[in-house]
Amino acid sequence: MPDLTRRVGVPRLAGISYPLSRPLGRPHDPDGQRAVLRATLEVLEQATRPDHYVELPFVWPETAAQARNASKDEPPSPIAALLLKEPWLIPKLYSGHIPA
Amino acid sequence: MAIDSYKYVDFATRQIMKAWAARQEPGVIPFTPLAKPLRECTVALLSTAGIARNDDVPFDQEGERRDPWWGDPTFRKIPLGTTEKDIRIYHLHIDPKFGETDLDVVLPMRRLAELASQGVVGRPARMHYSTMGYILEPTELVEKTAPAIAASMRDESVDAVVLVPV
């Protein structure tokens, strides 16, 4: 999620359009993983100023629906389950007023 | 920005993550130029996948189940040579099966060692690191965890770090 990572303020960022849970690529695809890591390391050498942002050209080999479907059996996170049950708490998340 | 950061998440998550990103102000972004060519650098990896070795303490998932607003802000060391057989992933917001099948999809230590043998980087650090990426309230992460990781990297003469947000 380069959008979110960029807002955190990292010095250099390589964005990639890969699904959550597997940012380097598919399991047991060493060539693909190595290409992603190498392209990411090259950003380190190219950058000369903060907020340097590069979008890597790699394309995920499945549709978004297929990628999501691979994790359909994962239960919702505790916060997602809570907010589904008590949606009036959502503004706390938006506002950053996290209950202590 | 041409990449759609929210392409792979459902509609509700997309709305929440977008709102979260919008309220985050980066402030002053630090920048330290690379002090030497990449091919001479010692490189470490830091993954947010919540990886812990089986002989180490797991990330605290029960604490998060009790209080869903809380996430474990500590870190674990992952020595070079650790494989998927030696670890588990403790992260309630990602699908752990990919990294538990092949650790390099979330912490590419073998790929880094290969790039070192090809001369792209100098060498992989002896030690790599993991945090667990769901932390809404980052005070402890920023004030304790990050400085402790940085100190450990400095002790090991690490020149550059690749952060892997999962």
pLDDT tens by residue, A19-57: 999 999 999 999 999 999 999 999 999 999 999 999 999
Encode pLDDT of B73-121 as tens digits. Answer: 999 999 999 999 999 999 999 999 999 999 999 999 999 999 999 999 9
Total domains in the fold of chain A: 1
The length of chain A in residues reads 100
A55, part of any domain: yes
B30 and A11 within 8 Å at the Cβ level: the answer is yes
Domain range for A13: 2-72
Q: What is the ipTM of this complex?
A: 0.95
A98, part of any domain: no
Residues 3-42 of A with CB under 8 A from B: 3-11, 15-28, 30, 33-34, 37-38, 40-42
Cβ atoms of B114 and A34 within 8 Å: the answer is yes
Query: What is the DSSP track for A12-73?
Result: EEEEEE--TT-TT-STT-HHHHHHHHHHHHHHHHH--STTEEEEEEEE-SS-HHHHHHTTTT
Residues of A in contact with B21 (CB under 8 A): 1, 3-4, 7
What is the rounded distance in angstroms from the CA atom of residue A53 to the CA atom of residue A36? Answer: 15
A93, part of any domain: no
Total-model pTM: 0.95
For residue B86, the model assigns a pLDDT of 98
Residues of A in contact with B160 (CB under 8 A): 44
A83, part of any domain: no
